[in-house]
Amino acid sequence: MNWAMLPKACKAVLPVIAAHSNKEGESFPGERTIAILAGMSDKIARRGIQGLIGFPGFHLDYYVTRQGRRAKKFTIEFPPEHEKDRSFFFHKCIIEGGNWQQLKPVSQALYAVMRYFARFDKDLYLELEESGEESFDRSEFGESYKNRRWDVCRAEIDIMAEYAGVSRRSVYEALKDLEDCFLIEDQGEDGEGARNWKVFIIPPQRYTAGSLNRIIMKRYGYEKEK
């Protein structure tokens, strides 16, 4: 429940910092970069970074650059290779493609929880992928599984709310927002009455550089007043 207890700003910046990490878990993104990719102001991004201090596996250090300026170094302790069930892949394209920065804070909190509860459903994946534009290669199942684009989340609304640290009511708003930003897709109820959501590991659509640049220019005051 560590994730649930984090302020929303922290939940927004943590994946951005992690996405910049090298194999040692070290990353050096600037505050403005973090703010842009998390979809927030510099002030809120700074608050989110400070709120992560003391979070398990997260470390913040300061160093002096070659230009004589103080900068931040982030270190995230990733689970060991033999404990893969303690982690899931968070592809950098979610950050770089603009999907993450377009989300509301409550949606960012919920997406990580849906990824946590989502599981691979071989039969459903074969059924939907073979009837769609992209076919799932049965002959190379291991490689296809590794490169799969989505898993299925069947978690109940109140449980997702609890693990995301948000209200039950706000989950419904977040689900709509996640669909609009191409990170989940509602598949309706299954035969057992459980709601099924495709949770995209790799978004089927991302934002163009041009549209993102216009949003960034407007948000951070780069656009000339008319």
Q: Where are the domains of the chain?
A: 2-87, 105-205
Whether 52 shows a pLDDT value over 50: the answer reads yes
pLDDT recorded at residue 193:
82
pLDDT recorded at residue 226:
35
The model's pLDDT over 185-211, given as tens digits with 9 standing for 90+, comes to 999 888 788 899 999 999 999 988 888
- Compute the mean pLDDT over every residue in the chain, rounded to the nearest whole number: 88
Selecting from 3.30.1600.10, 3.30.460.10, 1.10.10.10, 1.10.579.10, what CATH number does the domain 105-205 have?
A: 1.10.10.10
The model's pLDDT over 5-17, given as tens digits with 9 standing for 90+, comes to 999 999 999 999 9
Percent of the chain whose predicted confidence (pLDDT) is above 90: 66
The model's pLDDT over 140-199, given as tens digits with 9 standing for 90+, comes to 555 667 778 899 999 999 999 999 999 999 999 999 999 999 999 999 888 788 899 999
pLDDT recorded at residue 126:
78
**Do the domains 105-205 and 2-87 match in fold?**
yes
Three-state secondary structure of the chain: CHHHHCCHHHHHHHHHHHHCCCCCCEECCCHHHHHHHHCCCHHHHHHHHHHCCCCCCEEEEEEECCCCCEEEEEEECCCCHHHHHHCCCCCHHHHHCCHHHHCCHHHHHHHHHHHHHCECCHHHHHHHHHCCCCCCCHHHHHHHHHCCCEEEECCCHHHHHHHHCCCHHHHHHHHHHHHHCCCEEEEEECCCCCEEEEEECCCCCCCCHHHHHHHHHHHCCCCCCC
Residue 224's pLDDT band, with cuts at 50, 70 and 90, is very low
Fold of 2-87: Arc Repressor Mutant, subunit A (1.10.10)
